[in-house]
């Protein structure tokens, strides 16, 4: 990426990459891998015999560019220490037509994860790759570089929110059956920090559901230290379904909150207790270090002298003339603390001025609350403004769409008993009196206070994003985080009327529970129906087009110059490793419309 040319390796990673490999150990390792065996004869054979290496965590690839791609594996050895492995990239699945090959270090200081940035590749090409040590081979992965020039079709599978203890990764298994993916987009909550029983829903508390894989979770506690985060990543990558999808296509990922701790912001997290659990900075850096070791992300860079404390994750990928994919970091880089009180949340909106400012949207010290931060906002604006492609796809964590506080008092979709149940749950989750506050917000036509961790909780940043979207040709926002499926037409009131500014689609969780585990027994269609019904009362707001609040699955985003089609595929269960799957909804958006035009 051209805007990174003057950047330098983030210090956290520079240290561990260069440290601790003596020349003698390197030579030994090369001999052991058979790489320079012919030079030293019998000694090399002895080394190969003495070191055993396994590739237990599969292979993956990521961050494709037109001429390069990241290959990843983990190579562990019973003898420990640092050693080299061989990698090969070929144009055929049997790895006979070798295009590139080399050696890469498996360093104990990087948890023996191995990452190679292979360069000199051809654009728009499918490759196969594997790692080896002596005669021990890894599995074979498939990957693809970015296409250039005239591109007619690109397909992404989009995922978020996989809590291992809560279910089987059937959603990954189902998507891994596809042979047509250009990339897997993961919008975060790829891992969760909780220990068994740490992620409580009303359904879990009532014994309606169980954590079916709790015994498999490693470590068996909330993760806090570097060793903990590494163990959890290894635990996830031991899953065969995850490994299958990891090997199927290049991954383009961003973290959400649970890669560190629930409801992360720049200086802390809801699920972090400063002191008792160490400092936030230590925990964040442990989480980040394990993330970059275990995920196929190009080594993070930062602008020299910029004072940045978090490696930059926001980046862009151009698919020829068809689309520009922009991936954002709404969590770690700049986010100020969330508002958790419903009263304070609605206060953001009650004090809004006619010219679209939110005077209450400030920190305790009076500074403007940030979500992306100025540097990332400017970068995003440039990426959208300069895009010559037909589509601008924005992959990020949290819902942008404005969802209303559900107007329970005036709906006929629920019985009085169901309304009482929901109000009881709101009080239980948000504290006594919360249901009354939610009802008051609904009567005013305000946003759902439950969404204060999303874009709606940062109205000034959201308003700036809306104006950026207005300037973009054909923006499509992808969101994760909520565990439910959403599609909305996005709108912006202006002096000349309410304008369409784009669409947003939300991908359901892989296993993390949706509203069905919160409002137990309330028909899912009624939950979605109330949000749609309450939102429709003010046509100046974003309008919900589709929702599914009870099923786990993924989105296929199928892009041509004529349309972006989004297909939601769901599995019938995550509580058993056997499942069925079906595509249940398809929506299309056409260029120039900035709203959904057809439903099928
Ligand atoms: Fe999540």
Q: pLDDT digits over 573-598, tens only? A: 999 999 999 999 999 999 999 999 75
- 26 CA distance to ligand 1 middle (Å): 42
- 260 CA distance to ligand 1 middle (Å): 12
Tens-place pLDDT, residues 449-506: 889 999 999 999 999 999 999 999 999 999 999 999 999 999 999 888 999 999 999 9
Q: Which candidate, 149, 121, 142, places its Cα nearest to that of 62?
A: 142
Is the backbone peptide bond immediately before 219 cis, with ω within 30 degrees of 0? yes
Is residue 284 within a helix (H) or strand (E), and if so which, with residue range?
helix 280-294
Confidence of residue 567 (pLDDT cuts 50, 70, 90): very high
- 513 CA distance to ligand 1 middle (Å): 8
The H-assigned helical ranges of 176-248 are 202-205, 226-237, 240-246
Beta-bridge partner residues of 506? 479, 486
- 161 CA distance to ligand 1 middle (Å): 4
Is residue 510 within a helix (H) or strand (E), and if so which, with residue range?
none
Q: What is the pLDDT of residue 526?
A: 87
- 185 CA distance to ligand 1 middle (Å): 15
Q: What is the pLDDT of residue 23?
A: 46
Q: Which candidate, 296, 237, 292, places its Cα nearest to that of 68?
A: 296
Which DSSP string do the residues of 78-105 spell out, in sequence order?
TT-S-EEEEEEEESSTTS-SEEEEEEEE
Say yes or no to pLDDT of 382 above 90.
Answer: yes
DSSP letter (8 states) at residue 495: T
- 396 CA distance to ligand 1 middle (Å): 13
- 466 CA distance to ligand 1 middle (Å): 24
- 98 CA distance to ligand 1 middle (Å): 40
Gyration radius of the chain's alpha carbons: 24
Say yes or no to pLDDT of 1 above 70.
Answer: no
Reading the block at residue 594, the tokens are 């900035």
Report whether 7 contacts 322 (CB < 8 A). Answer: no
Confidence of residue 430 (pLDDT cuts 50, 70, 90): confident
- 482 CA distance to ligand 1 middle (Å): 6
Q: What is the pLDDT of residue 122?
A: 98
Those residues with Cβ within 8 angstroms of residue 531's Cβ, 6 or more apart along the chain or in another chain: 403, 404, 406, 448, 544, 547
Q: What is the pLDDT of residue 28?
A: 54
- 527 CA distance to ligand 1 middle (Å): 19
Report whether 485 contacts 479 (CB < 8 A). Answer: no
CA distances from 493 to 89, 210, 350 (A): 52, 45, 17
Reading the block at residue 512, the tokens are 């993390």
- 473 CA distance to ligand 1 middle (Å): 30
Say yes or no to pLDDT of 31 above 80.
Answer: no
Report whether 528 contacts 513 (CB < 8 A). Answer: no
- 51 CA distance to ligand 1 middle (Å): 40
| Rounded CA separation 8/373 (Å) | 21
Half-sphere exposure (Cβ direction) of 550: Cα atoms closer than 13 Å: 13
Say yes or no to pLDDT of 153 above 80.
Answer: yes
Confidence of residue 299 (pLDDT cuts 50, 70, 90): confident
- 341 CA distance to ligand 1 middle (Å): 21
- 514 CA distance to ligand 1 middle (Å): 9
- 257 CA distance to ligand 1 middle (Å): 8
| Rounded CA separation 332/309 (Å) | 9
Q: What is the pLDDT of residue 17?
A: 42
DSSP letter (8 states) at residue 169: -
- 509 CA distance to ligand 1 middle (Å): 7
More confident residue, 437 or 508: 508
- 533 CA distance to ligand 1 middle (Å): 26
- 583 CA distance to ligand 1 middle (Å): 22
| Rounded CA separation 266/22 (Å) | 38
Those residues with Cβ within 8 angstroms of residue 549's Cβ, 6 or more apart along the chain or in another chain: 484, 485, 514, 515, 516, 524, 527, 528
| Rounded CA separation 412/533 (Å) | 10
Phi/psi-derived region of residue 431, left when phi > 0, alpha when psi is between -120 and 50, beta in every other case: left
Q: What is the pLDDT of residue 3?
A: 43
Q: What is the pLDDT of residue 50?
A: 85
**Mean pLDDT estimate for the chain:** 91
Least confident of 48-52, 165-169, 301-305, 323-327: 301-305
- 189 CA distance to ligand 1 middle (Å): 5
- 22 CA distance to ligand 1 middle (Å): 42
CA distances from 183 to 124, 190, 246, 307, 530 (A): 12, 16, 10, 33, 35
Angle formed by the axes of helices 23-32 and 42-50, nearest 10°: 90
Report whether 350 contacts 284 (CB < 8 A). Answer: no
* pLDDT mean over 374-389: 96
Say yes or no to pLDDT of 4 above 50.
Answer: no
- 16 CA distance to ligand 1 middle (Å): 30
The H-assigned helical ranges of 302-359 are 342-350
- 191 CA distance to ligand 1 middle (Å): 9
- 66 CA distance to ligand 1 middle (Å): 32
Q: What is the pLDDT of residue 356?
A: 84
Q: Which candidate, 489, 493, 484, 490, places its Cα nearest to that of 554?
A: 484
Those residues with Cβ within 8 angstroms of residue 283's Cβ, 6 or more apart along the chain or in another chain: 224, 225, 260, 261, 272, 277
More confident residue, 356 or 184: 184
- 560 CA distance to ligand 1 middle (Å): 30
Q: Which candidate, 330, 249, 257, 242, places its Cα nearest to that of 294?
A: 242
Least confident of 250-254, 333-337, 342-346: 342-346
Q: What is the pLDDT of residue 10?
A: 53
* pLDDT mean over 515-520: 92
| Cβ atoms < 10 Å from Cβ of 99 | 18
More confident residue, 400 or 437: 400
More confident residue, 20 or 126: 126
- 561 CA distance to ligand 1 middle (Å): 32
DSSP letter (8 states) at residue 539: T
- 331 CA distance to ligand 1 middle (Å): 13
Say yes or no to pLDDT of 272 above 50.
Answer: yes
For tokens 């909804």, the residue is 585
- 278 CA distance to ligand 1 middle (Å): 24
- 536 CA distance to ligand 1 middle (Å): 27
Q: What is the pLDDT of residue 49?
A: 64
- 315 CA distance to ligand 1 middle (Å): 22
Q: What is the pLDDT of residue 341?
A: 85
Say yes or no to pLDDT of 228 above 50.
Answer: yes
- 112 CA distance to ligand 1 middle (Å): 28
- 137 CA distance to ligand 1 middle (Å): 35
Reading the block at residue 424, the tokens are 């009881």
Confidence of residue 304 (pLDDT cuts 50, 70, 90): low
């Amino acid at each position: 990426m051209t805007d990174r040319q003057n950047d330098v390796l983030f210090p956290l990673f520079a240290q561990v990459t260069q440290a601790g490999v003596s020349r003698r150990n390197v030579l030994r390792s090369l001999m052991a891998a058979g790489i320079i065996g012919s030079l030293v004869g019998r000694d090399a054979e002895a080394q190969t015999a003495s070191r055993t290496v396994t590739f237990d965590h599969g292979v993956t690839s990521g961050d494709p560019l037109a001429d390069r791609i990241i290959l990843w594996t983990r190579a562990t050895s019973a003898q420990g220490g640092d050693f080299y492995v061989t990698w090969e990239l070929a144009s055929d699945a049997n790895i006979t037509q070798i295009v590139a090959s080399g050696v890469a270090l498996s360093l104990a200081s990087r948890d023996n994860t191995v990452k190679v940035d292979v360069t000199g590749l051809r654009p728009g090409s499918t490759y196969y790759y594997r790692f080896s040590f002596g005669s021990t081979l890894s599995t074979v992965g498939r990957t693809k570089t970015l296409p250039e020039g005239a591109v007619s079709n690109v397909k992404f599978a989009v995922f978020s929110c996989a809590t291992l203890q809560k279910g089987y990764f059937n959603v990954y298994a189902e998507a891994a059956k596809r042979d047509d993916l250009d990339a897997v987009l993961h919008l975060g909550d790829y891992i969760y920090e909780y220990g068994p029983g740490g992620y409580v829903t009303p359904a879990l508390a009532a014994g309606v559901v169980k954590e079916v894989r709790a015994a498999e979770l490693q470590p068996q506690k909330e993760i806090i230290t570097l060793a903990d985060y590494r163990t959890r990543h290894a635990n996830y990558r031991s899953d065969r379904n995850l490994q299958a999808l990891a090997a199927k296509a290049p991954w383009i990922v961003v973290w959400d909150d649970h890669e560190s701790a629930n409801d992360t912001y720049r200086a802390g997290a809801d699920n972090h207790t400063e002191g008792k659990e160490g400092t936030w900075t230590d925990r964040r850096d442990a989480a980040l270090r394990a993330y970059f070791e275990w995920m196929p992300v190009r080594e993070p860079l930062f602008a020299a002298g910029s004072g940045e404390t978090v490696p930059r994750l926001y980046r862009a990928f151009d698919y020829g003339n068809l689309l520009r994919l922009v991936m954002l970091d709404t969590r770690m880089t700049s986010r100020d603390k969330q508002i958790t009180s419903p009263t304070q949340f609605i206060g953001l909106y009650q004090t809004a001025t006619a010219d679209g400012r939110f005077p209450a949207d400030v920190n305790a010290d009076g500074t403007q609350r940030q979500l992306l931060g100025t540097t990332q906002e400017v970068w995003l604006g440039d990426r959208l403004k300069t895009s010559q492609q037909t589509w601008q796809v924005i992959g990020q964590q949290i819902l942008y769409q404005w969802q209303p506080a559900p107007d329970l008092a005036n709906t006929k979709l629920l019985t009085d008993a169901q309304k009482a149940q929901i109000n009881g749950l709101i009080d239980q989750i948000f504290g006594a009196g919360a249901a009354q506050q939610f009802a008051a917000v609904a009567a005013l036509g305000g946003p759902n206070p439950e969404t204060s961790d999303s874009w709606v909780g940062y109205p000034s940043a959201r308003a700036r994003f809306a104006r950026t979207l207005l300037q973009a040709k054909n923006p499509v926002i992808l969101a994760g985080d909520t565990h439910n499926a959403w599609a909305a037409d996005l709108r912006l009131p202006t002096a000349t009327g309410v304008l369409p500014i784009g669409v947003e689609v939300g991908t359901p969780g892989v296993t993390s529970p949706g509203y069905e585990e919160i409002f137990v027994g309330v028909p899912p269609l009624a939950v979605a129906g109330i949000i749609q019904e309450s939102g429709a009362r003010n046509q100046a707001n974003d309008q919900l087009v589709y929702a599914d609040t009870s099923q786990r699955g993924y989105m296929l985003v199928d892009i041509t110059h004529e349309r972006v089609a989004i297909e939601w595929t769901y599995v019938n269960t995550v509580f058993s490793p056997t499942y069925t799957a079906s595509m249940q909804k398809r929506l299309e958006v056409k260029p120039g419309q900035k709203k959904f035009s057809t439903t099928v």
